[in-house]
């Protein structure tokens, strides 16, 4: 008989079964999206609420405390609070869960606290019998050693750290190092490491859906729980032969999507048609020592008779005076009578670089081997930027030291992220914006 309707039967998996039975005090878990790691971790925490606990001297703990931690309190409340409450039977509750404190108090004297590690002090000042640190790659470096470990000592508390093995994230290096240390066996049986891919658990159609939505590296990381190297080419999936074709052509009756990076020198725009799943980039505008008005003049000179309409998508800085224009860039486009039917989409703030890069790479090559983004050879500045732009060694920061680098690929990335966002849906975790970051 399940404790609540949320305690549904899980698909049997030998590693998950071993994890559920573990006696280890420290666990590091790397597993793919939707593969059950979060479900198991939440249930494992709740199962301890009625269990009597003792301190190191053998004295019963009067009020055992447990925590479930995510990188921020806002994230914790948004993704974990309702699922945790749903796992706790009503007859276990001593009082209604505290919505302000995110605390569940039971008739056994135990409490479960949902916390955000953006302020690690929320863990300090108490002694805990156990807890879970979720999204390990996004946790602040050093927080485990400074705040969590000392708070587990009096009651010999257990702690799991779980997550996807991201190659970007403030705490990824520390989390992955901890996993390696636990997996090595050098710390003995009190420390264990587990890993499994999503396709061990998810239905095949969900895996295939993810493979279409992600490039091979993101798919291997997010669903295969495989660690990917940091660094190298940013647009690694772009192939200057396979993603470049002179068959890409201008279509008079399809909307022209103008990706815009506003800069005085150079001004970088690229022109594409978004047709079905295909992104077809047929031209670019690259002008030096210019402004928005002059770039609009050039666009009109080339495609002034276009009948399919225009969609302009660019960076958020276009809302302010960042060129020599007398008006803001986006206002100039909106007020240009030659483009009276133009639609303008400039975000209040730019998406993260990693989100844009992920959207681009997925277009160039997804995990099913499909190349849905093609570029005409005349777009030489875009092709060069996609071929050469790289990360600074050992970091996730683009090496844009050359003044021409990054403008055209950023212009390409804004509409790609807006119109082709990398979004994955799983039954367990709902809608997830996948970060190559």
268: confidence class by pLDDT, cuts 50, 70, 90: very high
Contact predicate 119/71, CB 8 Å: no
Between these two residues, 125 and 426, which has the higher pLDDT value?
125
pLDDT of residue 329: 78
Q: Tally the residues of the chain.
A: 437
Q: What is the pLDDT of residues 308-338, one digit of tens each?
A: 999 999 887 655 444 433 357 788 888 899 9
Contact predicate 283/271, CB 8 Å: yes
Rounded Cα distance, 353 and 398, in Å: 9
pLDDT of residue 320: 46
Would you give the end-to-end CA distance of the chain in angstroms? 42
Segment holding 151, helix H or strand E:
none
**E strands present in 289-337:** 310-314
Q: What is the pLDDT of residues 8-64, one digit of tens each?
A: 999 999 999 999 999 999 999 999 999 999 999 999 999 999 999 998 888 999 999
Rounded Cα distance, 286 and 46, in Å: 59
Rounded Cα distance, 55 and 170, in Å: 34
For the chain, give the mean pLDDT.
90
Segment holding 355, helix H or strand E:
helix 353-364
pLDDT of residue 434: 36
Nearest-CA neighbor of 370 among 285, 307, 277, 436?
277
pLDDT of residue 426: 46
Contact predicate 424/362, CB 8 Å: no
CA 382 to each of CA 100, 195, 249, 277, 376: distance values in angstroms, whole numbers, following the listed order:
51, 39, 16, 20, 10
pLDDT of residue 317: 64
Instruction: Give me the residue label for tokens 């975000």.
Output: 347
Q: What is the pLDDT of residues 100-140, one digit of tens each?
A: 999 999 999 999 999 999 988 889 889 999 999 999 999 99
395: confidence class by pLDDT, cuts 50, 70, 90: confident
Q: Which domains does the chain have, with CATH numbers?
A: 14-201 (3.40.50.300), 256-433 (3.30.420.280)
Rounded Cα distance, 271 and 378, in Å: 11
Between these two residues, 363 and 170, which has the higher pLDDT value?
363
pLDDT of residue 88: 97
What pTM was estimated for this model as a whole? 0.77
pLDDT above 90: percentage of residues in the chain? 72
Contact predicate 213/361, CB 8 Å: no
Q: What is the pLDDT of residues 161-210, one digit of tens each?
A: 999 998 878 888 899 999 999 999 999 999 999 999 999 999 999 999 99
**E strands present in 331-415:** 343-345, 373-375
* Residue 90 CB contacts under 8 Å (≥ 6 apart), including other chains: none
């Amino acid at each position: 008989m399940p404790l609540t309707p949320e305690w549904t039967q899980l698909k049997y998996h030998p590693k998950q079964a071993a994890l559920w039975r573990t006696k280890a005090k420290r666990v590091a878990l790397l597993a793919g999206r939707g593969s059950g790691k979060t479900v198991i971790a939440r249930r494992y925490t709740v199962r301890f609420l009625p269990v009597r606990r003792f301190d190191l001297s053998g004295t019963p703990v009067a009020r055992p405390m447990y925590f479930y931690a995510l990188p921020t309190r806002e994230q914790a409340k948004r993704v974990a609070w309702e699922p945790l409450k749903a796992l706790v039977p009503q007859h276990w509750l001593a009082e209604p869960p505290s919505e302000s404190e995110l605390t569940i108090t039971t008739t056994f004297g135990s409490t479960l606290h949902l916390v955000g590690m953006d302020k690690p002090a929320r863990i300090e000042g108490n002694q805990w019998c156990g807890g879970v640190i979720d999204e390990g790659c996004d946790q602040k470096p050093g927080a485990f050693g400074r705040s969590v470990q000392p708070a587990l000592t009096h009651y010999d508390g257990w702690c799991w750290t779980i997550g996807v093995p991201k190659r970007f994230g403030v705490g990824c290096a520390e989390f992955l190092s901890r996993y390696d240390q636990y997996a090595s066996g050098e710390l003995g049986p009190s420390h264990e490491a587990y890993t499994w891919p999503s396709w061990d658990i998810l239905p095949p159609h969900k895996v295939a859906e993810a493979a279409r939505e992600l490039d091979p590296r993101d798919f291997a990381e997010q669903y295969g729980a495989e660690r990917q190297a940091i660094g190298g080419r940013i647009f690694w999936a772009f192939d200057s032969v396979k993603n470049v074709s002179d068959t890409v052509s201008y279509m008079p009756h399809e909307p022209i999507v103008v990706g815009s990076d506003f800069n005085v020198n150079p001004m970088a725009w690229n022109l594409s048609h978004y047709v079905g799943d295909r992104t077809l980039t047929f031209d670019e505008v690259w002008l030096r020592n210019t402004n928005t008005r002059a770039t609009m003049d050039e666009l009109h000179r080339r495609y002034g008779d276009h009948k399919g309409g225009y969609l302009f998508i660019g960076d958020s800085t276009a809302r302010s005076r960042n060129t020599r224009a007398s008006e803001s860039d986006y206002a100039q486009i909106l007020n240009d009578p030659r483009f009276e039917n133009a639609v303008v989409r400039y975000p209040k703030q730019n998406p993260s670089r990693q989100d844009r890069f992920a959207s681009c790479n997925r277009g160039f090559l997804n995990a099913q081997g499909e190349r849905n983004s093609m570029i005409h050879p005349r777009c030489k500045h875009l092709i060069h930027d996609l071929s050469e732009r790289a990360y600074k060694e050992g970091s996730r920061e683009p090496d844009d030291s050359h003044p021409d680098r990054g403008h055209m690929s950023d212009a390409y990335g804004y509409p790609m992220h807006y119109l082709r966002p990398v979004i994955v849906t799983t039954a367990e975790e709902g809608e997830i914006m996948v970060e190559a970051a």
